[in-house]
Amino acid sequence: MHRKFARICKAGLGMLIILQLPSGCKSNTPDIKADFNYSYTDDNHIEIVNASEGDYYSASWNFGNGETDVTTDKKKTYNIYYPDAGSYKVSLKILDYVGNTDTTSQSVSITKSDLVVAFTAEVQEDRPNYVLLTNTTTGSYDSLTWHYRDMEVDGKMSFEAYFPKKGTYTIELEVMKDGKSYSAENTVTIAADDPEYIEGMTLVWSDEFDGTSVNTADWTFETGATGWGNNELQNYTNGANAVVSGGYLAIIAKKVDDNKTVGSYTSSRIVTRGRKEFKYGRLEIRAQLPSGTGIWPAIWMLGSNFSTAGWPACGEMDIMEYVGYVPDVVYSTVHTPAGYGGSGDGSSKSLPSCEEEFHIYGLIWNEEELIFYTDTPSNVTHRYAPAVKTADNWPFDKEAFFILNVAVGGNWGGAAGIDNSIFPQQMVIDYVRVYQETIN
């Protein structure tokens, strides 16, 4: 209900007339008053109590430190944290039932900083590609995380961060307290590339195919005769075309009939999706390739967010592709939203013995570039390193999984037809190995 307000006016010869305002009218002087009290619970925490008067509906708070609140609970109190020394303006606005408001504010003074995020970053004289990071944060906090080179390291108070390439880098230390983030940054300059960068990596996973079957703890079979987006003709089976023996994996493409239609061939496609996924490192696969017109083996990777982002947004790294109608030439290609399919970014290399001998097909992958190579990192097939990286041209900052397969026919593999006399054909894999940088 609205209160009735009386107003006294002067009229005529000093006669006073009392006017009674009707119930629905709005007063020019609302009968509400915004007010609050505060007290220190320690040097950096303030208890704030609403002391507003009158019949009002809601209270809107701004505590001056980025925190705000709107409430209809007139008895609500607050314990507000101010980690940094300084003066903070606390404001309160109350609103009554007919739209009147009243506002008040007070300054809160914090004399000392409770949490000061800081660290030192020292380039090591005897190891100039390593930087000793030491947390010197003062005050209490719940957790800490280091950020550098698109990497995250949790919980370490001191460690050596590795910077293999010359340049200037920003390092951030983030600490969490009561669900909020506080951080500090430093920069370091690395004078030269580390000549031992590649050889200094540590083996973190491999499959040497020493058993008698595909290790399903690491690999799964993708099956079906769906064309796989390329109008391929093989039907991928659940293991019948993948043989592990004598330390090798053979993925065997077989002919079912001479029709050259979907299902006229069988083969295998194995993936590490959901089991073994990696971000950055040196990745090597030693393999011997099949031969003949119509065959299309591949060693490649897809981003692990494939099911949510889709292709090509997830990114595709083709470490090695081979089409039998162009013998002795291997291809390495990158597919992104900026260029995919026939517009992918790639190169080829002559490799005359790829069908007769084993070769290493490798990829060096870090936050700056992708380097595809055969046999040794110095024998580069293709380098991909956009100067300005965006989501469209660099989706390679997330984990990815391996795919090994032998396709038959398809848009590229079958561009010159299929020679049915070549079957069976097999791609033989000696090993798959992943090396990564060591975090001390």
Provide DSSP, 192-226.
Answer: S--TTTTTT-EEEEEE---SSS--TTT-EE--B-S
Distance CA 128, CA 121 (A): 12
Of 92, 60, 63, the C-alpha closest to 79 is: 63
Check whether residue 263 and residue 393 sit in a common domain. yes
DSSP 3: P
Token pair belonging to 141: 């906090």
Sign of the dihedral through C-alpha 379, 381, 386, 392 = negative
Contacts of 100 (CB under 8 A, 6+ apart): 26, 27, 30, 32
Number of domains in the chain: 3
141 with 179, same domain: the answer is: yes
Q: Of 131, 163, 190, which residue constitutes the final position of a domain?
A: 190
Residue whose entry in the numeric block shows the structure tokens 């080179």: 149
Q: Within 13 Å and on the Cβ side, how many CA atoms surround 34? A: 19
The last residue of a domain, from among 75, 110, 145: 110
Any domain includes 4: no
How many angstroms from the chain centroid is the CA of residue 248? 34
Residue 292 is predicted with a pLDDT of 98
pLDDT at 113: 87
218 plus 337 within the same structural domain: yes
Same domain, residue pair 158 and 306: no
pLDDT beneath 50: ranges in the chain = 1-27
> What percent of the chain is modeled with pLDDT above 70?
93
Q: Would 342 be classed as within a structural domain?
A: yes
283, 222: one domain: yes
Please tell me the predicted confidence (pLDDT) of residue 27: 45
Give dist(CA 286, CA 378) in Å, integer.
Answer: 16
Flag whether 237 is in a domain: yes
Q: Residue 211 domain-assigned?
A: yes
pLDDT at 438: 84
Residue 24 lies in a domain: no
Q: Which residues contact 18 (CB under 8 A, 6 or more apart)?
A: 6, 7, 8
Q: What is the CATH number of the domain that holds 265?
A: 2.60.120.200
Domain residue limits at 244: 202-436
Catalytic residue positions?
316, 321
Residues 68 and 133 in one domain: no
Q: Which CATH number belongs to the domain containing residue 52 in this structure?
A: 2.60.40.10
Q: Are strands 295-303 and 316-321 parallel, antiparallel or unpaired?
A: antiparallel
Residue 29 has what pLDDT? 53
Mean of the per-residue pLDDT values of the chain: 93
- Report yes or no on 180 lying in a domain: yes
**Residues forming beta bridges with residue 56, ordered by sequence position:** 96
Q: What number of CA atoms fall less than 13 Å from residue 367's CA on the CB side?
A: 11
Out of 190, 216, 237, pick the residue that ends a domain. 190
Which is nearest to 335 in space by CA: 294, 381, 394? 394
Is residue 76 located within the same domain as residue 163? no
Q: Do 242 and 370 belong together in one domain? A: yes
- Whether residue 182 is found in the same domain as residue 255: no
Q: How many CB atoms lie within 10 A of CB 62?
A: 16
C-alpha span between 11 and 17 (Å, rounded): 7
- In this structure, is residue 27 part of a structural domain? no
Residues 206 and 186 in one domain: no
Residue 190 and residue 167 in contact, taking contact as beta carbons nearer than 8 Å: yes
- Beta-strand runs (E) in 220-358: 220-221, 234-236, 242-245, 248-255, 265-267, 269-271, 277-278, 281-288, 295-303, 316-321, 329-335, 345-350
Residue 230 β-bridge partners: none
How confident is the model at residue 84, as a pLDDT? 86
Whether 377 and 240 share a structural domain = yes
Please report, as a single letter, which amino acid is at residue 275. Answer: R
User: DSSP secondary-structure letter at 20?
Assistant: E
Name every residue whose Cβ is closer than 8 Å to that of residue 113 and which is 6 or more positions away in sequence. 44, 83, 84, 85, 138, 139
327 and 208, same structural domain? yes
Inside any domain, residue 26: no
